[in-house]
Structures are given as structure tokens and as C-alpha cells.
Amino acid sequence: MMNKMLVLALGLIPMLATTATANDRYRERPPIIVSPDLTAPWIMQLGGAGVRPTVYPARPQKPRAQYHKQAPHEVQRRQKNVRRGEAQPVALRPNRAIRSQIEPQFLPQMVAFDTKHAPGTIVIDTNNRFLYLVEGNGEARRYGVGVGKPGFEWAGAHKVTRKAEWPRWVPPKEMIAREAAKGHYLPASMDGGPENPLGARALYLGSTLYRIHGTNAPWTIGSAVSSGCIRMRNEDVVDLYERANVGTKVIVM
């Protein structure tokens, strides 16, 4: 009997030592570090409609090299640098500077709006880059939008057939081919998120490929830049998304 008790006691010693070591290890627990950025993109996605998306600032502009005629000796020097593996600047076509701020008239506001359309109707004035949500009593809620670039303009009447939060982007084959011809290679699809060009919300129009959606480039609001879709700031499309239901009539003119 004594031998059995001795064996049992000897077997418990390693277990007690392990427990003591574990307790010593976690006697002072390491601090929990929480990111101070409470508007992190993944938090916004988990938060649903109760969390307001952030406004993403314009991307900083990089200096653009201009085309210029180079002397023969300068060309030879650059060619030698390339052969030696040295980097050289890439010549880019001159282009307009990206607007870093949205003009005040494109921010949401209540305006006088005389229309025959029923309250709840969405009216999009593509020429002036405004989207109106008819409120009735001669008023409407107005938002700034980005519209189709030259050659991609359209007009018509549709209804909202579907709504999506942080929608997945699947570029049409025509767009993929068109951009590839320019040297821009688009993904076959992209999950929803802050980097997705459809932004925080999307309202799909009829059976078309057109949508009213957010954007990852808010500085383009007020411009004709899209392939026909109507783009809004993320916080604006979230506001519209909460006010407009499936079946809402949309007039594009």
C-alpha cells in the first residue's frame, strides 16, 4: 500500500511543477493592445449599417515626368544605365491633376425640386452630376455623383431590383478587354471592401449592368469618369441605401 502511494505521489510532482510554471508564466498577463483606428475597414464591414464608412482621402500625386527631346549623348547614357541595371524615370503623358477635394455643391443637401415624380423616386441629372431623392412638398435630397464618361452616357427609367452591402465586383468581359487594350489588367472579380471600386453599397438598376454605388475614389465625384454607373461617396450611398427600397423608381436623364 505504501509503495502504491509513493508511486502516485511521484507521478503528481511533474504535473504540479507544470501547473506552477504555467501560473508563473501568466502571473502578469501581457497587455491587450487594441487598434485606436475604430473605423478600420474590417470593422466597418462587420458593423453593418450602424457604422458610418470613412471618407478616403485623395491619393498623393507623384511627380510626372514629361516627354522632351533628348540629346543623342543623353540617350546613350540612359541606355548604358539600363544595361547596368540602374533605374530610370518613366515618361508619362501629361494629365490633369487629380482633384483632392469635393466641391461644396456636390455635398448632400436639401434643395427645392419641382417635379411630377412621386416621393421616393430617384432622379439623376447626369449633365449637372446630381442625384435627387424626391421628398415631396417641392423638395428633394440632393447628392453629388460621378457619371459615365464620354461614349458611356445613357438615359432611361428603371427600378432598383437588388441592393448589396460591400458588393463583390465582377467586371464585364467587355470592360476587361477594353482596359487590357490600354495596358490595364482588371481582376476577374474582387471581394467587397474599401479598395473595391463599388464602394460600401450598390443599388442595381433593372436587368442592366448599371448600378448606383459607392467608390474608392471619392475625389471623382462631380466628374464624368465611369463606364455608365452612377457613383457616390461611400457615406452618401449608405444614406441613400437606407432610404431607398427595392422597387424604387430611378429616372436617369
Active site (catalytic) residues: 213, 229
* Residue 235 DSSP one-character state: H
* Residue 91 DSSP one-character state: B
**φ, ψ dihedrals at 204, nearest 5°:** -85, 140
Cα(229)–Cα(175) distance, integer angstroms: 13
Chain centroid, CA 41 distance in Å:
10
Q: What is the DSSP string of 138-199?
A: TEEEEEE-BEEPTT----EEEEEEEEEES--B---HHHHHHHHTTT----S-B-SSTTSTT-
DSSP lists the bridge partners of residue 91 as 65
**Alpha helices, H only, the chain:** 2-25, 41-47, 72-83, 173-180, 234-243
Cβ partners under 8 Å of residue 223, min gap 6: 99, 129, 146, 147
